[in-house]
Amino acid sequence: MSLSDKLFALGGKLGILKVSAPKEPAAPQAGPAKLQMRTITLAELSREVNAPGLNELAQQPDFLAAPLSDIYAAAGLQPPENGWGVERLTEHLKSPALKGLSRAEVQAELSGMFVSPAAVEDVLREALGRDQALDRFETVAKQKLEERAARRAKEIAGLEQRIAELQAALGKLKQEAAAAAALDAEHWNAWLTAKDAAEAELEWTVSFLTEKPIVTRNGS
């Protein structure tokens, strides 16, 4: 059963939500005052929630940790001026005074309390407003989470692309470094051979002038 169905069911049992009202006022009866029945539509109970306020709340980094009271406040919902709102009614229904009573007995007790249809409508209107606020916040919160996930996925994809590019560049650099090292080694060995030949020739040349060795060979 949807919330609206539950609200109309409750209103019907309390005697205010009927298809049509009696044409003639009922005869006075002894006992608790009874609610006067009248026709009411769901549209009349609906409240306009503050969508920009809910959107702003969803922009907070920890918006999912926000208490429900913050959502109701952001939606611009205020409890009825008569003081009997959803929270007070919930507390009363959970009070020891009603503990052990049947559902019918509780509804009869409420009929004695809410002698004005407007008072009942105020509670129903607040309940419906809260439900609408929660539904609206769920929509914007889900959208916010999807945007976050998409942004993170994009960042990850970008990093993965960058990593792939760096890995490709690294592989190429390693290949180039290995080829350059091999070429350097070849040139180095050729130079060492040429150096050794030059030093040998120098040693041979000066050996005709002095018996003392003055040319170093192989770094010695």
List the single range of 9-13, 146-150, 160-164, 169-173 with lowest mean pLDDT. 9-13
Kindly report, residue by residue over 52-79, the tens digit of the pLDDT. 899 899 888 899 999 999 999 999 888 8
- pLDDT at position 2 is 52
Which residues are registered as beta bridge partners of 38?
A: 17
The token duo for 148 is 């976050």
Query: Domain map of the chain by residue range?
Result: 3-161
CB count within 10 Å of CB 125 equals: 21
Please provide the DSSP assignment of 8-27 as one string.
HHHHHHHT-B-SS--SSPPP
State mean pLDDT over 152-168.
Answer: 97
Tell me the pLDDT band of 41, cut-offs 50, 70 and 90.
low
Looking at the predicted structure, is the pLDDT value of residue 160 above 90?
yes
Q: DSSP H helical segments within the chain, as ranges?
A: 3-14, 42-45, 51-57, 68-74, 86-93, 103-113, 117-206
> HEC profile for 83-102?
CCCHHHHHHHHCCHHHCCCC
